[in-house]
Structure 1
Amino acid sequence: MQADYHVHCEFSDDSVYPMEDVVTDAIGLGLEELCFTDHVDYGIKVDWDSGQEIVWRNGEPMANVDYPRYFAKIADMQEKYGDRIRIRRGLELGVQSHTIPQFEALTKKYPLDFAILSIHQVGDEEFWNGEFLQGRTRREFNEAYYREMLRVVQSFKNYSVLGHMDLIARYDPEGGYPFDEVKDLIEEILKVVIADGKGIEVNTSSVRYGLSDWQPSTKILELYRDLGGRIITIGSDSHKPAHLAAHISAAKEMLKGLGFREFCTFDKGDPVFHPL
């Protein structure tokens, strides 16, 4: 089974990759299944129909997915290309503890095949621009990141997998924080995830970002394995053609080397297991 389960297109505010081009490119790459997972980040972005002013950055709107157009387009792609590739309805949910009610309402209104739960901000402070790191020691911003993740998974259950779990490593000027310093927090998070029947993803964008390890790290993956975790998806986090399906085969080999035997796709919210 060849699948990419973290894919962005023009409905994400950080991509201009046309959805139909993603589909035809995926077919050309031999993918059998594809899940669109465009961004929703309440707290720092608004919905198109919210009545609030939309902020523009570098010519692109800082807004969440235009849901009616997005899901209608996915339906069109399923109709047009369904005999050549399976296309799933997904979103990447940038949840914060104070935005959980908005995500509860969203996921109730729009049923999904698959939802990635990501921590992209804490207290509406972003990672990519250094805002969240500013004024905090390395220990403080790493612990604050995982504590927010723990709060979210304890309260929010309408997701499929936890996305790029150690995302903060991408923005840490010194690289990945020592695992043993946050192991207890990570273990608490993973125990909740597993008990809730949820999973985690391997996000292969770690390769293009030049990280020294996979994302999540092999230590996190080993801990997940040892705790009994089985549900794993693999996604490229693609935003342009060069990203699509990149390094997924290598990720499968890495998982096999760690003792995993299966990975997952999703159908109407339920995991479907495939041999690695």
Structure 2
Amino acid sequence: MYDYHMHSRVSFDAHDPAEKMVRAALDAGLKEICFTDHIDYDPRGKMGNMAFDTAEYNAEYDHLSAPGLKIRRGMEFGMTRDNKAQFRKDLQRRPFDFVLGSIHFVDGLDVYFQDFWEGKTVWQAEHRCLEETLACVQIHDDFDVLAHLTYIGKTAAHPAPRPVPFAEHREIIDEILRVLASRGKGLELNTSGLDRCGGFLPTEDYFRRFRELGGEIVTVGSDAHTASRVGQYSREACELLKGIFGYVCTFAGRKPIFQR
């Protein structure tokens, strides 16, 4: 089992030390984990300090090890239409094993909160996020795997949290998946939605379609921001992906490893 999306106290919105999360990974029976701390830029500067501190990152992880557990180092970069140059600059800070690309801000607003939702139906909010996701995966090429494609389904301001239905947005979802597949990018199965909106992010039908369109790289991540969520539903997620693809991917030095 693997967890390739987790945040220690290095991330602005997490608080547990990496050592505590490693112990949780061992307790959960995981074989390999990757810390993917946030690098995010709030376009309107309303979210306070979201900075990535390289010295803090190195101090947290440089001496981290655990017998029987592979520990990789990654990052989760919040993509927008206009931060491609900043993304490349941040990638030069240190060698990462793995890079997630994610969409947290749309039209300058954090989709997690109420401001983004004002004046939109659920379908409109979902579709706007998918439009932004398509634009970003077309613009950016420095990430390895797209994180939580249907992130909006679990957000705090969602009036009725739900997995984003594939059938209601099929055309644009197909375009996103085609771009990922054609460029050799991966799709993450994010388990955090199961408790928050009743389904994985995204759901099984997205992965079956990704496979049909030639997608090959798939990862599993809990999106844990506390040690208590490390590895949550990892077994179920890995079984689902292996049932479709025959494997789950891990990474080393930005190269996928197919774990069968």
- How high is the TM-score relative to the length of structure 1? 0.86
- Check conservation: 1:230, 1:262, Cα contact below 8 A: no
2:231 and 2:44 map into 1 onto residues whose CA distance is 28
- Partner SS for 1:97: coil
Question: Which one-letter code corresponds to 2:42 in the other structure?
Answer: G
Displacement of 1:236 = 1.0
1:267 to 246, 252, 257: 252
Does residue 250 (structure 1) correspond to residue 236 (structure 2)? The answer is yes
1:217/1:113 CA distance change after superposition, 3 Å: same
Which residue of 2 is the match for residue 223 of structure 1? Answer: 209
1:179/1:111 CA distance change after superposition, 3 Å: same
- Check conservation: 1:266, 1:272, Cα contact below 8 A: yes
Does residue 115 (structure 1) correspond to residue 102 (structure 2)? The answer is no
- Check conservation: 2:242, 2:248, Cα contact below 8 A: no
**Unmatched 5+ stretches in structure 1:** 47-52, 56-61
Does residue 17 (structure 1) correspond to residue 41 (structure 2)? The answer is no
2:195 and 2:189 map into 1 onto residues whose CA distance is 14
Displacement of 1:138 = 3.0
Instruction: Give CA-to-partner distance per residue, 1:180-226, whole Å, 9 cap, x none.
Output: 231111111111111111101111111221x2322111221121111
Question: Which one-letter code corresponds to 1:235 in the other structure?
Answer: G
Size of the alignment, in residue pairs? 257
4+ residue stretches of structure 1 with deviation over 6 A? none
- Check conservation: 2:117, 2:125, Cα contact below 8 A: yes
Displacement of 1:255 = 2.5
Question: Which one-letter code corresponds to 1:226 in the other structure?
Answer: E
Which residue of 2 is the match for residue 3 of structure 1? Answer: 2
2:189 to 202, 218, 221: 202
1:38 and 1:45 map into 2 onto residues whose CA distance is 21
- Check conservation: 2:148, 2:189, Cα contact below 8 A: yes
Question: Which one-letter code corresponds to 1:11 in the other structure?
Answer: V
**Which residues of 2 match residues 52-201 of structure 1 at below 5 A?**
55=48, 62-77=49-64, 81=65, 83-171=67-155, 172-174=158-160, 175-201=162-188
- Check conservation: 1:96, 1:123, Cα contact below 8 A: no
Which residue of 2 is the match for residue 234 of structure 1? Answer: 220
2:145 and 2:91 map into 1 onto residues whose CA distance is 14
